[in-house]
Each structure stands twice: as C-alpha cells, then as structure tokens.
Structure 1
C-alpha cells in the first residue's frame, strides 16, 4: 500500500467516525484532520471546539488557514478569555504559544505560497505594522479579531515582564508532499524569515514543515521505551505495587527524556502531568536554575525529586532498568528548569543528583490517584482533583456504553486516538449540566471553575449520592452532541459578518440553546435536583427523550424554535440595557430567556 493510499484511508476513517466534523470542501477536511492529529503534540489541552475556533474565515489571499493563541496551556478564543486570564496574579510568569497553520492537499512545498504565508505572519507579529494594512490586503473582520487577540495577549505578557524564553511563535506549512525533497529556495526562505522575525519580536519564532511521512507519524502512537540507570541499586518495593526508589544522575535522566532530535524534551513523556512548565519567572523555578548553575552538588538537598509511572519496569542489572511507556507525573518543573540550565551552557548538570520514584502502574485508576496525590501540595486545576470522585467514574463507564467518552482525566481518550465532539471533558460536562438542569447558561459559560470550587454548586450536578440515575448525564451528553452538530452546520450557512453569525458563533450560544431546548423537552423551566426530582426514574422517559434527539426533523425544529427565542431575548435585553453585553450578565437566563421559554411552553399546551 502506498503512503498516499494509507493517508487517504486515515482521513476517510477519521470522518467516518466523526461525520459532524466534515468541512466545506476537501481542503478544509484536510485541515481539520491535521489539526486533530497535531493537537496532542502542539495544542496542549485543546478540544474539538478549540480547534475549530482557530480556523480563520476571511483571510482573503493571505495564506493562513488557522491561528491559535495558547496561554498557560489553554486556547484563548476571544479577548474576553484574555480578560479572565488577566486576573491571574501569576500573569508575569505565564507561557504563551502562538501557532499559525497553512495546509495544502498538494504534494509539494510551494515557494510562492510559503512566502505569502510568512509575509502575513511577519505583518501580524510586527507591532509597528497597523492592523489596517492587513484589511487593505483583503483580511476580513473575523481574521482581524484573531490578529488583535494575538497582539494584545503578546503585548500584555511583555508588559507583565514575561521573558522571551516563555514566548513561542510557530508557523506550520503542511502538505502531502515529501519533506526530503524540499528545494534550496524553500530552505532559504525559511532561514531568512526565521532570522528576520526573531529580530523584531521578544520570544522565539520557528518554522515547521510537515509532509506525508510526518502526518502519518502523528497518527501512530508508538510505545516509548527508555533506559534508566541509578547511581546505586535502588530500594525495591514488591507489594502491593512494584516500585523503586533511588538516586539518579540528572544529566543521564535528561538524555533519556529528550525527543528523537535530541534538541528538546519529549513532550509525550509529560502528558499525564497536571500542569505545564510554569516558566523561569516563577521564583522556585528561577532558584532551581540558579542552584543548578551555581551550586549543583547541593541541588539534591533542596529538591523533592521526580515521580515517574510506567506500564512496565524490567531490570537489566542491579542499577539499570528498562522502562516502557513512562510518564513523569511529578517533577516537571524540576526537569524543565534543569533543561533550561543545561541550555545556557554555563554549567554541566552531571554533578546533580535527583531522587527518583519509579512505579509500575498499569491500572488507570491507580495512576490517577498517584497523579492527584503527588501534586496535591501545588496549585492544580480543581476539576483534575475532583476527577477521582466516584460519581465521575460511574458516569464515564455509563456513557462509554453509549459511545460518549467522558474525559474526566486530561487527554485520556484523545491520547488513544478518540476524537471529535463525542469526547466531552470534565469542565465542559459541568457547563453542559449546569445549563440544562440549573438553567444558568451564562453562569456556566463565565464561571466554570466555580462549578468545582463551590461545593454546593458542585454537588448539584455531581452528587455524593451515587444512586441517582445516570441518565441525567446520558440525556445531557446526547443533546449536546446533536445540537452541536446542528449548530455547526447552521452557522456555516450564515452570512459572513452578520449579526446572526456573531451571536451563534459565540461560545455562550450553544449553552443557551441547550437551556432552551431542554426546557421545551421537559416542558418546564424550573431547576432540577438530581437527588429529588427522579426525572428519569421511569426508563421510558429517557427512551422517549432520546427518540426526540435522534429524530432529525423534530430536533431541528426545536433548534429553530430555540434560535427564535434566543434572538428575541437578546433583542429585549439590548433594548433594556443598551451597550451592555448579555454574555456577561449572569441574570440574562432568568430575566430574559426563561420567561420567553415559559410563554412558548404555555402556548404549545394551550394549542394541544
């Protein structure tokens, strides 16, 4: 089988499994496929919504297909997202990554196309170039809004004192050609552009070419095996879980953790870590780097060490071990700080020793507990800590029986190649549940963290009493995936730049529509208590509701009604509160949306 046939088969399989992601044409299909495959490697925790939000409409002939702003591991979609991050007191030690993509279905790396794309990137990153210049070249509003987001995020981090080591810009030029056949002219363009852009920015800019070999490689998750050698035989613990505790040379450890190019750390070995590198501006990381350079022999005394889990551990000798599919789950800041120290070439880290805990843990639930408990002394996203509650485990198991993958554990299903809207992460699930059952979509959109940090709110959607019907989660998930697909198709038909498109492209629109449609299906707008209402006590109830969701005509009619109600609610709000933003008003659901839904339900009952 040729490589081209193999790749075509992969793309066909991807859209057969995720038909709701089909684009407008083959070119967009290729872009969507590539973004999903490259996501685990470059876009951190991005989900399908994040990936689609990066596809830029209105780029004209500027040679950019997608742009992403990733701040501290999260994809920012709008300036509103940036405002929320600004409240973070650690903004000065943030990490920024901006990614640009140009994809072509063709089999070569075109010089003219590459130069055009890179000229656009340079105009975007050169803050002395007015945004208006891009408009004059054919860029439309949606494209310019993304450029504004890139620039404002970049500027705010610079003003906050973030150093160049924590700011990264990458341009990806991806085709189905053979990267090995790239001509000298293309390489010259790459070298010259990298140099010229790095001269005008604070940060690091690089250009990546991906051809058919690299694309196929992205889709194939290969097992990783490393060799670890302790300084002396480690302490071995046989039961209940085989583990080893010992001291290892830092330089030898880093050698094993490098990528195949030996120029950067292998990010796949840190996928299960609960956080990303927080940067050298964080005091503790700065101190670690300084200690590594100035006092390496005392580093061990000041450091807690590394915790690594693996599927299998085999010993070659008393000190040397073969480790299959390792994951560094605690100590990422240490490793990256040492890596940064080593890059300065001011010192060798061969004098540094580290304590290493190596645990053979193939059981997923046990792995999750290790990750959670070994990181509990540090600030972790609350959803990651809540993920080990019994209710989440039950929901995951139940939804999996219905082809919904509840990703309570970060990247658990995406790393297995399961993608698309059927993968729902823990934070998104909370937003969906709160919008449908607590009738507060705007609150869910703006304050998802509070759905985990506020115990009373958290228990309303994830009760301690696990005897509740799991159909609450099944109904919400099925309604979400169906309405998501309908809305995506609908937005694709809307006129560019129209008020309608702006409303229904916003992140809050889907949650508001879920609030409306679920209320109309339940024929009531009051909040629902999982432990008292027994909404799904009768199995025929969930069967009837799922039947409506699966009936394309009926659910599409409900969606159309929901659109009318939402547009009317927004018009009423803007009439009462001119200049105010309904997407930030936590009272919008109760004061403007629910009364219209109640009137619609009463009208339908009277007709019946």
Structure 2
C-alpha cells in the first residue's frame, strides 16, 4: 500500500460529509462511504444504503447487510424483482472499522454471527444472541426472498467484506485463516453457491472512489452512416467495437449506461439464448451478419460528432437493446472470438436534450415490449411536476434514481419516489397501516398509483405529506449508536396521529393537510407517549416497537377513540 493512500482516503471521505450528513461521527461517515464504494456497481441510493445499515448495539459485527435480487435491492415484497428464470441473489455483509489495520476480532465475531443468522433452520426466537431489529429485519428479508424463489433455482452469491484503512495487500496468516474458516462455515449452510471473503483496505477504497462514470464515449462504425442533418444517426458498429464501447477500462460492463433502460437483463430466457446462439455461430459464409437477425440498439444522447470512423456521443444512455448488449458482453467475456469477425450490430442514435422529449423516446422505445409498469412511472408528467415543485422548495425528488446523489446533493434532502408514496399514503390518504407495505404497490398497481399520485391534487399536498413525515423521522432517528432506527411504519403512525391532532378530525380530505406546521421534538414525543399508553390498553394483536403496537386495528381504534366527538359532530 502506498504510504499516502490513507491520507488521501481520509481527505476524500471528509469531503463527503456534507453529502452523507454533517452530524455523523467519523466512524459512521466511514461506514457509509465504504458501503457506497463496495456497492458502487449497483448504483445505491442513500435510501438503499440506509436500508442495509445495521450497525449499532447488538449488531453481531454486521455493520451492513444488503440483499440484491437481479441487481435490484430487495424489499419486503421484492420477489417480483426476479425477472430471470434462474434469479441471482447477491448478499453483501460488511464489517467496517476505521482502524489503521485489519484485526482478527471482527472476523471472529462474524463467524459466530453468520453461522446462526444464515441458518434457515433457526427461528428468530431461538437465536443465541439478541441481535438488533435492523439485523433481524434484513435476516427476515433474505430468508423470505430466498425461500420464495427456491423453486426457481436461484444463484446465490454471498460476499463478506471487511473494510478498514489498513493494507489489504499484506494480510497476516492468522487473519486469512479465520477468513477461510468463515467461508467453510457458510459452505456448511449453502450448497451450489458462490462464497467470498474480501479484505478491502485504504488503497482499494481510494481506487474505487477515484473511478468516475464516463458518459461521453466513442462508437466505431463500419463503412458509412445514415444521418439527417447531423441530428440523428443510424450505423453499423463492429461487435468487438461495441463491446469496448460498453466496457470500462477494467473490462467491466458500464451498467450506468442503462439508467434510462426500464428493463433488467432477463438472463437465460429464449430471446437471450437465441442471441447467444447467433453469436456462437461466428462469422462465415452462410451464417449471415449479426445485424440481419437482431433488432439492434437504441442510444439516447445530447450531442454527437463524427471523427474518422468514430462517432463521439455525449451523455450516452442505452434506452433499448439491453438484452442484446449484455449478451454481447457475456459473449466476449466467456469465449475466444474470431480475430477476423467483421460482424456488426445495428445502432440507432437519437439526440435530444429536452427532458420531456427524452422521456417520450424512452417510453416509445419500450412500449413494444412487456415492461414492469413501475419502471415507467418516473417519466409521467405528474412525477416531473412534483420534481420541479419540490426542487423549488429545496427538496430533490429522485424520480430518476441517483441523479441528485451524483450531483452531490445532501442525503437528507433527497426523496425517492417510493418514500414520497409512503408519506402520501400515511398523511394525505390517512392510511399509515398500509403506507409502508404498499410503497412498491403504489408504483406497480395502476389503481393504487393513481390514488397515491392524484393529478387533481394541489402539489402542496405532496409537500405537506413529505415534510411531516421527514420531521417526525428526523426527531426519532437515532443514527444507530444508541437505539435501533425506527421502522417506517412507526414513523408513519406518529405522523398520521399528529396530522389528526392538528386538524382535530378524522377522516379528512387530502387538501386539508396543506399548511400544517411540521412537528417539533416535543410534538413527536407527546404523540409517541399517547400511542404507547393506548397500546397498553389495546387488547388486539400487533407487533410492538418502542411499546407501540403496529397494527391496523390498533391505529384505527386509537383514531376513533381520540376523535369520536369530532367525527360525530
């Protein structure tokens, strides 16, 4: 490890403080930074990082516990994310220590914890260690998805990352031995799986942080091209040249080029087997050119210029042809190709800078295929209107994932579409019992979506819902060091009860919430105490958090009892 790597890494991490949160201590900041670098290929949002952040009391050595299904972060109802016939489940467990060297104790702790946390035969009630609710929640998330997808023969990959500011190129023999023991422990739990242990030091984190995404790329072409006044292009690109176009300097696929492509790679399905078979035939008389048998690629850009036999395209986004692209990538990764392979792929380049025009193009190029409806929601006019309205008021609405994160905007001001959907259901629609569980449904189900993002509402309805929930969350959130972070359901219950109190009634209309002052710490504590007292008298079912029962029957009865006079009147 170079002597100055730690100094440079510390400087980069500190520059991230305004973005991740000024109130974080050095250890917490280093944890979030490490999560972001380790998961970089997944393009995690701040909300994604928060979801898998399990550090705190009784964490069993797990500072981060992340589950991805087919490259998308898992949620409570994320089985629908598995688009492949044989889905890939990627589990990333992270132990992050800001120490200047690697030590044995964190690995020993992980061996003990993972041996039972990943043992599906052990119920939560029979775990020998009192793990915090964040760890248990992620364990349940992994277990439920892994079991639900078992009949589809998922590919399971578990990677344990031990991150520090130490030298990963010079690991002591005893540490490597303990890492091997951990892998052997996992091998005893899972067959036919890929298991890895990684030491990630200052040099590796520094190299990851220095990698920048390049959206201005050169696309080679054969012969001539078709263009109308230099505004759009149709060309044939050599297969090998296209492979270089989609790969970074390390030979990895530039997945960020597909942010506007609404579909995921579908894996071993018939269309991809057909593409692979065509590629495997190779060049030769009678086989035909590749582009004869393929629909080609559609690329969206803002500017382009021709230099020799290359087209330089700015702000590249591949909006259609992901299946072809990834199959080409895998072909060049896994086979010895012919040196004289002159086959080509058809590429269409459309230049458009206007956001609305780009949105129409993305929709038009994908409507011809079966696409998860939720993937197109961010292109709707109501979503663009909300984004602009919130932007003018200091909020950054992430309808296009990670746009604002990549601009360096502060995490506490970035709001995802699903986060806003949950806030609206809890506050504007007065339905906190379903607000968290149906956040994904608010995007997938057409009826639920239009109810949640009602185009007839004043946009202030969305702002009020957001600011009430965010204010409650900021008061209740403990940042791991003392208490578990509150589940979103609990936050929504408190926000909903506060809204009813301010209005003095329930039910109410969504527009009634406009103008409600956001709660302060005293308001949140008072409502929390009232909910806890009511929970002690409530005889119905419901799991408890901080003494409050989280069930629909409880919150319905609480509101009815507290506002019975107002309702009767």
Q: For the superposition of Structure 1 and Structure 2, which TM-score range results when normalised by the shorter chain?
A: 0.7 to 0.9
1:283 aligns with 2:276: no
Corresponding residue for residue 268 of structure 1: 256
Corresponding residue for residue 532 of structure 2: 567
Corresponding residue for residue 358 of structure 1: 349
State the SS of the aligned residue for 2:222. Answer: coil
Superposed displacement of residue 441, structure 1: 1.6
Superposed displacement of residue 107, structure 1: 2.6
1:517 aligns with 2:517: no
**Equivalent-residue separation in structure 1 for 2:544 and 2:467 (angstroms):** 33
State the SS of the aligned residue for 1:232. Answer: coil
TM value normalised by structure 2: 0.82
Corresponding residue for residue 215 of structure 1: 205
Q: From 454, 460, 471, give the equivalent of 1:471.
A: 460
1:392 aligns with 2:356: no
**Equivalent-residue separation in structure 2 for 1:194 and 1:348 (angstroms):** 42
Superposed displacement of residue 69, structure 1: 1.2
Q: From 500, 504, 507, give the equivalent of 1:526.
A: 507
**Equivalent-residue separation in structure 2 for 1:43 and 1:570 (angstroms):** 41
1:439 aligns with 2:430: yes
Q: Which runs of 5+ in 2 are unaligned?
A: none
| Contact kept? 1:569, 1:596, Cα under 8 Å | no
Alpha carbon RMSD of aligned pairs, Å? Answer: 4.2
Superposed displacement of residue 403, structure 1: 1.9
**CA 1:279–1:244 in 2, change beyond 3 Å: closer, same or farther?**
same
Superposed displacement of residue 265, structure 1: 1.5
Corresponding residue for residue 98 of structure 1: 91
Corresponding residue for residue 256 of structure 1: 245
**Equivalent-residue separation in structure 1 for 2:273 and 2:534 (angstroms):** 51
State the SS of the aligned residue for 1:367. Answer: helix
**Equivalent-residue separation in structure 2 for 1:211 and 1:271 (angstroms):** 29
Superposed displacement of residue 72, structure 1: 3.5
Superposed displacement of residue 418, structure 1: 2.6
1:48 aligns with 2:29: no
Superposed displacement of residue 515, structure 1: 1.4
Corresponding residue for residue 522 of structure 2: 557
**CA 1:207–1:267 in 2, change beyond 3 Å: closer, same or farther?**
farther
Corresponding residue for residue 71 of structure 1: 69
Moved more, 194-203 or 380-389: 194-203
**Equivalent-residue separation in structure 1 for 2:139 and 2:451 (angstroms):** 40
State the SS of the aligned residue for 1:105. Answer: coil
Corresponding residue for residue 540 of structure 2: 576
Superposed displacement of residue 194, structure 1: 9.9
| Contact kept? 2:35, 2:64, Cα under 8 Å | no
Corresponding residue for residue 220 of structure 2: 229
Corresponding residue for residue 421 of structure 1: 412
Per-residue CA distance 1:379-407 (angstroms, 9 max, x = gap): 44434423233332222122112221011
| Contact kept? 1:109, 1:182, Cα under 8 Å | no
**CA 1:129–1:517 in 2, change beyond 3 Å: closer, same or farther?**
closer
Corresponding residue for residue 30 of structure 2: 30
Per-residue CA distance 1:480-505 (angstroms, 9 max, x = gap): 222111111298644xxxxxx6xx73
**Equivalent-residue separation in structure 2 for 1:452 and 1:337 (angstroms):** 29
Per-residue CA distance 1:120-155 (angstroms, 9 max, x = gap): 5873698599689x9558866764564454355335
Superposed displacement of residue 332, structure 1: 1.6
| Contact kept? 1:93, 1:279, Cα under 8 Å | yes
Alignment of 1:14-413 (within 5 A): 14-19=16-21, 22-23=23-24, 25-36=25-36, 38-39=38-39, 41-48=40-47, 51-57=50-56, 63-76=61-74, 81=76, 84-86=77-79, 92-110=85-103, 112-113=104-105, 115-116=107-108, 119=111, 123=115, 135=127, 143=135, 146-147=138-139, 149-151=141-143, 153-162=145-154, 164=155, 167-179=156-168, 181-183=169-171, 185=173, 201-219=191-209, 221-238=212-229, 242-262=231-251, 264-280=252-268, 282-294=269-281, 297=287, 299-317=290-308, 319-345=309-335, 350=341, 352-413=343-404
State the SS of the aligned residue for 1:437. Answer: coil
Corresponding residue for residue 498 of structure 1: none
**Equivalent-residue separation in structure 1 for 2:9 and 2:225 (angstroms):** 46
Larger proportion of helix: 1
Superposed displacement of residue 592, structure 1: 2.3
State the SS of the aligned residue for 2:436. Answer: helix
Superposed displacement of residue 44, structure 1: 4.3
Per-residue CA distance 1:258-284 (angstroms, 9 max, x = gap): 23322x31223333332332322x333
Superposed displacement of residue 436, structure 1: 0.7
| Contact kept? 1:228, 1:321, Cα under 8 Å | yes
| Contact kept? 2:66, 2:91, Cα under 8 Å | yes
| Contact kept? 2:70, 2:83, Cα under 8 Å | no
Per-residue CA distance 1:184-219 (angstroms, 9 max, x = gap): 748965995798567964233344443334434555
